[in-house]
Structure 1
Amino acid sequence: MRRLLGLVALCFAFIFGSLSLGSAPAYAADIAHGAQVFSANCVACHMGGGNVVNGERTLKAEALDAYLADYSAGHEAAIAYQVTNGKNAMPAFGGKLSDTDIADVASYVEDMSAKGWS
């Protein structure tokens, strides 16, 4: 009986291990956490997806496409690059925020831009 239980346990471990390895989801950023990071670090200049420094460079989809390098190749990656490195009047947050914070805020910005910031 003990041997049979061991064999059953081994089968379950193999099956569940195979399923988890074969169908592991890609890393999904935490949009809710991104909203918190945005509120704490970005909203002063980008409330409602706007831009108080330069009104043309908003966080709306058309502006992101026009002003961010490589936006068409990867939306969240382009936003994360901008947040990490800054540019012109925008400060770099790479030394202030963790990689996870930046990935989450990039996902939040992309999600909100797709919704028209409404």
Structure 2
Amino acid sequence: MISLLSSILLAVMLVWPSTALAVESGASLFQNNCASCHPNGTNIIRRGRTLKIKALRQRGLDSSEAIAQVAREGIGQMSGYADALGDGGDVVVAEWVWQQAQKAWTQG
């Protein structure tokens, strides 16, 4: 079973390497820079300011571009993370966050 899953994952990465890398990088960037305050898309500082789809849409953050701007520049009490995320990291993590929000953060 594990070798079958590994084979499928390898095939996907070979066909779409940039997509697979972006997902892995986005998850890693999120884990390293965002997850301490936003575990599974929640918010331990301000409950209403989650990364769940409903909360994002209510605040006009309904695209990866809008989320990238917040990640880069900050918003409200949250400082910007441009330096920590590195060149283009804001875009990668924002795309990953947007995908997770659309999936209701069910896969972690």
Structure 1 length-normalised TM:
0.68
Higher relative contact order (CA 8 A, sep 6+): 1
Q: What is the percent sequence identity of the aligned residues? A: 31
2:84 to 67, 74, 96: 96
The residue aligned with 1:108 is 96
1:64 to 40, 56, 62: 56
Gaps of 5+ in 2: 1-17
Asked if 1:52 corresponds to 2:65, the answer is no
Structure showing greater Rg: 1
1:38 to 23, 26, 30: 30
After the TM superposition, list the runs of 4 or more consecutive aligned residues in structure 1 that deviate by more than 3 angstroms: none
Shift of 1:95: 2.5
Asked if 1:76 corresponds to 2:70, the answer is no
The farther-off stretch of 76-85 and 99-108 is 99-108
Contact 1:85 1:91 in 2 (8 A): yes
Gaps of 5+ in 1: 1-26
One-letter code aligned to 1:35? A
Separation in 2 of the partners of 1:33 and 1:99? 13
Q: How many residues align?
A: 88
Contact 1:34 1:107 in 2 (8 A): yes
Contact 2:33 2:84 in 1 (8 A): no
